[in-house]
Amino acid sequence: MKITIAQLNPVVGDVSGNLKKAAATLEQLTQPTDLVIFPELFLVAYPPRDLLEKPDLMERVQGAVRELRELSARYPHLGLVVGAPLPSSRATGKGLNNSALLIYRGQILFRQNKSLLPSYDVFDETRYFDPAEEVGVVPFKGEVLGISICEDAWCDPDLWCRRLYEVDPVNIMAQKGATVMINISASPFQIGKEEQRYHLMENHVKRLGRPFIYVNQVGGNDELIFDGESMVLDARATPLAILPTFREEVATVDLSQPGKPTIFTPPEPIATVHEALVLGTRDYLTKCGFSKAVVGLSGGVDSAVTCCLAVKALGRENVLGVLMPSPYTSRESIDDSLNLAQNLGIRTQTIPITPIYQAYIDTLTQPLEIKELDVTLENIQARIRGNILMALSNRFGYMVLSTGNKSELAVGYCTLYGDMSGGLSVLADVPKTMVYELARHINREQKVIPQEILVKVPSAELRPGQKDQDTLPPYEILDRIMNYYLVEGYAYQDIVGQGLDPETVGWVIRAIDRNEYKRRQAAPGLKITSKAFGMGRRIPIAARYEI
């Protein structure tokens, strides 16, 4: 059997556009094939969230399925496997299934609903879907297909400290005689997941002795980035195909041919982070109807890296860098920002904020009883800059990219309606220490980010002589504590037990907990770690929880 895997980038809710993408894929096939496989929920893209509650969307899906049936009749030699949300047959429950359809010669030959509905981290499928009532297989062209959907293939005891599900759909399909295993997926990217995913599929093959076909969505949808890396493994777990990451690709393989023995080599983690953020930025802007971005350039590493990612995603002609010097901005920071912009080839504007800042002081000295420069006046500077960037956005149609990193967001070292302003927070899930890694990665081929930016002591430059570490622990320590607390879920005593200073650990944890209200108002941030702020972390704001 010849199989075509279609690793595509659908748009959430765009049923007609996604249908056209499927049709174009069939039209562009250059070699004979028996089966074309599309990703999970392809007709609506993943994750559709509460769009699934809109009756007209579901009517469009039904119409698209009818059109796919008509389309398949024009290709009588091949079958289609496609993911879609479809009405459930149950009298109770949500009334909807996450389904995979096998369409052949104008008919729906088989439907398999998703059995395992994840409801952890960024996943919320039990909110919308009913689980499959039965796991089945289907004969097709001399083989017996076992078609599973994403999480159905993740019921591996090596992955979980506690078993999440009572059933293992892949095993059931094998027991029912499946000779070819297929998994359609929308599996979001996170650092290191490529290797985990490959070995998961490899383990299925080694355990079952059957070929395994895995087709993953690619592209950015809101905070989530899908990396693709679809694959076909033969019955000996050797690859017939492994598609590239972070881009669309369609490939045809022959299951009767042996794979090519290879040692799977996962890409360098920081390289995948860079590619993920570029794709996430590009797709977020274009799918939201934007083509241009504006970035406030401070002379620091965060704004430099954000600007570099924006240029890679959108092109230098579509990125504007804005310098907004205050009375406390150093000449070095201005020069570093201009040198960065020159290296990138982007346009810049310089809009000094000193006159506006002075007007604030003159107006507020009496009402605020201002006697000295304090955090209130520091935040006013940040908010002036945020207003300027938003004004440029309103006037010229730029999306503002906020430049704060995960370390700052964690402990609240950021200003609401100031440096947190923007339509997308590119580095929201990137710790400060990783921002420097990204900068060095960007500079590997060509020194775009000036060395002066990489070696200077981080500073917000909102008061004379200010340094980040006047307020924060060293970023190496802060990021380590943040990882233990947020990602690993360690308690206070466990973190202290790692040899860290108890007072510093306590300060960081308290700062993370008390700044949830700020993060709730932040721009959406691209997710690249296993635990990001945003949709996958649901912490109450008005709560009393002491360490």
pLDDT tens for each residue of 231-278: 999 999 999 999 999 999 999 999 999 888 887 888 899 999 999 999
Residue with tokens 């392809």: 42
165 and 203 inside one domain: yes
E-assigned strand segments in 159-217: 180-185, 212-216
What mean pLDDT value characterizes the chain? 95
Known catalytic membership, residue 40: yes
Q: What is the pLDDT of residues 282-338, one digit of tens each?
A: 999 999 999 999 999 999 999 999 999 999 999 999 999 999 999 999 999 999 999
State the average pLDDT over residues 188-198.
93
State the average pLDDT over residues 332-350.
97
Set 21, 114, 193, 312: catalytic member: 114
**pLDDT above 90 coverage of the chain, percent:** 88
Global pTM value: 0.95
136 and 193 inside one domain: yes
Residue 284 placed within a domain:
yes
Q: What is the pLDDT of residues 118-163, one digit of tens each?
A: 999 999 999 999 999 999 999 999 999 999 999 999 987 776 656 7
Known catalytic membership, residue 268: no
Amino acid at 469: Q
Set 21, 40, 287, 408: catalytic member: 40
What is the SS3 assignment for 259? coil
Question: What's the pLDDT at 544?
Answer: 81
DSSP strand pairing (319-323 vs 293-296): parallel
183 and 117 inside one domain: yes
241 and 105 inside one domain: yes
Set 21, 125, 143, 150: catalytic member: 150
Domain of 278, in residue numbers:
273-468
- Measure the CA–CA gap between 292 and 397, rounded to whole angstroms: 7
Amino acid at 409: L
- Measure the CA–CA gap between 338 and 382, rounded to whole angstroms: 20
Query: Of 415, 450, 468, which one is at a domain's C-terminal end?
Result: 468
Query: Of 447, 468, 489, which one is at a domain's C-terminal end?
Result: 468
Q: How far is CA 27 from CA 22, 70, 253, in A?
A: 9, 14, 18
Residue 338 placed within a domain:
yes
Q: What is the pLDDT of residues 523-537, one digit of tens each?
A: 999 999 999 999 899
Q: 3-state SS of 306-346?
A: HHHHHHHHHCHHHEEEEECCCCCCCHHHHHHHHHHHHHHCC
Q: Which residues of 298-307 are buried (b: 16+ CB within 10 A; e: fewer)?
A: bbbbbbbbbb
171 and 146 inside one domain: yes
203 and 316 inside one domain: no
Cβ neighbors of 47 (< 8 A, separation 6 or more) are 12, 41, 122, 123, 124, 186, 221, 222, 224
Question: What's the pLDDT at 362?
Answer: 93
227 and 306 inside one domain: no
E-assigned strand segments in 120-165: 138-140, 143-149
195 and 178 inside one domain: yes
- Measure the CA–CA gap between 67 and 81, rounded to whole angstroms: 14
Q: What is the pLDDT of residues 61-88, one digit of tens each?
A: 999 999 999 999 999 999 999 999 999 9
Residue 112 burial by Cβ neighbours in a 10 Å radius (0-12, 13-18, 19+): buried
Q: Which two tokens stand for residue 69?
A: 């049936």
More confident residue, 261 or 489: 489
293 and 196 inside one domain: no
Known catalytic membership, residue 2: no
Q: Which two tokens stand for residue 220?
A: 């950015």
- Measure the CA–CA gap between 393 and 512, rounded to whole angstroms: 31
- Measure the CA–CA gap between 269 and 189, rounded to whole angstroms: 11
Residue 216 placed within a domain:
yes
Q: What angle (nearest 5°) sits at the alpha carbon of residue 121, between those of residues 120 and 126?
A: 40
Question: What's the pLDDT at 547?
Answer: 75
Query: Of 468, 489, 523, which one is at a domain's C-terminal end?
Result: 468
142 and 277 inside one domain: no
Single out the residue of 214, 362, 252, 233 nearest to residue 29, CA to CA.
252
Question: What's the pLDDT at 162?
Answer: 66
Residue 336 placed within a domain:
yes
